[in-house]
Chain A
Amino acid sequence: MTIAPLRRTARALACITLVATLALPAAARAADAADIGQVKVVRGQVTIERGDQTLAAAVGLRVRTADRIRTGADGAVGITMNDDALLSAGPNSLLSLDRYAFDATSGKGRFESGLSRGTLAVISGRIAKDAPDAMTVRTPSAILGVRGTEFAVAVDE
């Protein structure tokens, strides 16, 4: 196995990136079957309500079905889902991950989320491509059926 040249190049790159104060990704707990996505961006105050627990959201935390993500007045959060959908919420938002099922082999799944207040931006992933209402977002007044989309929704309290 000839790996010396590869390692030399790669090590050189690693040194450069360390000097530039970039580091390779931090350890995060490996995904288990209950995990449906991962927090990738946290700004200001962001908490996750899970059952009767309230967790401080941290980059790397894995999210689960029924999690409610709450941002404070200065908060914003970005989450990558298992089907590669990208979600983010702005300040004073409450986002719930109501239902999530995804089969990576077939690309089929269902994703139902809710925005009860605040702002949400979405770049849909593989589930939305599967069928017209495979991915939906519910707000207090409307249901959004997502079809291979980038969109943003705001709910005034």
Chain B
Amino acid sequence: MSERSRRGRRALAGLAVAALVAGCAPTGVVVLLPEKGGRATAVDVRQDDKSVTLDQPYAAAQFTRQGPKPFESNADDVQRRFGAALGALPARPIDFELQFELGKNELTAESRRKFDEVLAELAKRPVADVRVIGHTDTSGADELNDRLSRDRAGFVRDELVKLGLKAESIEVLGRGKRAPKYGKPDGPPDDRDRRVEVFVR
């Protein structure tokens, strides 16, 4: 992601009226940004019947009368044109996995430490939506596990509320044993599936 430490100022040409006049050239630019994690990304740019696909970091296109015209942008150009918008991008959603001791509503010692990381992340966000999804391992009946997984999610929600987070901003779900991550659905139970996922955005 481009550096957002400086906010660029972008001079806008006064073309509002001209844009409404038939025959006036369309103007604008689109730039594909480097993606954290190196995923393959792309934007298809279509202007009437002409199209261009941008699929490399800083690949860009200018909208012209003749259709999208490719060019290569760079970090400085992006900062200059888009600094203010980039500086206002929200924090990326983040998720945590907390694991439970067998048969109790008690986090493992390691997950108690991870819970602190959840709090630190929440403290960074002026407003947060939180989703808490409880799971169980694959042993035991569905009905029991549905209830247990909801209880586990509810327990984490209650801890967050005690620390000042508003209950309305926390959604709680239980998936029972339906979505094991570590053990196979028909296989032997894996301790690590006794978990709660906390999604913060």
Contact = CB atoms under 8 A, between A and B. Distances in A.
Interface of A: 1-3, 5-7, 9-11, 13-14, 17, 22-31, 38-41, 43, 59-60, 76-80, 84, 86, 88-93, 117-121, 123-124, 132-133, 139-157
B166 A151 contact: no
B85 A86 contact: no
A133 B15 CA distance: 30
A82 B14 CA distance: 35
A36 to B, nearest CB: 12
Contact of B116 (A13, A28, A88, A90): A13
Q: How big is the B interface, by class? A: 35 or more
Interface of B: 1, 10, 12-16, 19, 26-36, 39-47, 54, 63, 68, 78, 81-93, 104-107, 112-113, 115-116, 119-120, 122-129, 155, 159, 162-166, 168-169, 201
B81 A152 contact: yes
A13 B121 CA distance: 12
Contacts, number: 233
5 contacts: A6-B115, A23-B164, A88-B85, A88-B87, A142-B28
B127 A141 contact: no
Contacts of A59: 126-127
Given A3-B106, A14-B119, 16 more contacts: A3-B159, A9-B112, A10-B119, A14-B164, A23-B123, A30-B168, A76-B85, A90-B82, A91-B84, A120-B85, A139-B26, A139-B63, A144-B46, A147-B43, A151-B33, A152-B33
A152 B85 contact: yes
Given A10-B163, A90-B10, A150 B34 contact: yes
B68 A148 contact: no
A76 B123 contact: no
A27 B168 contact: yes
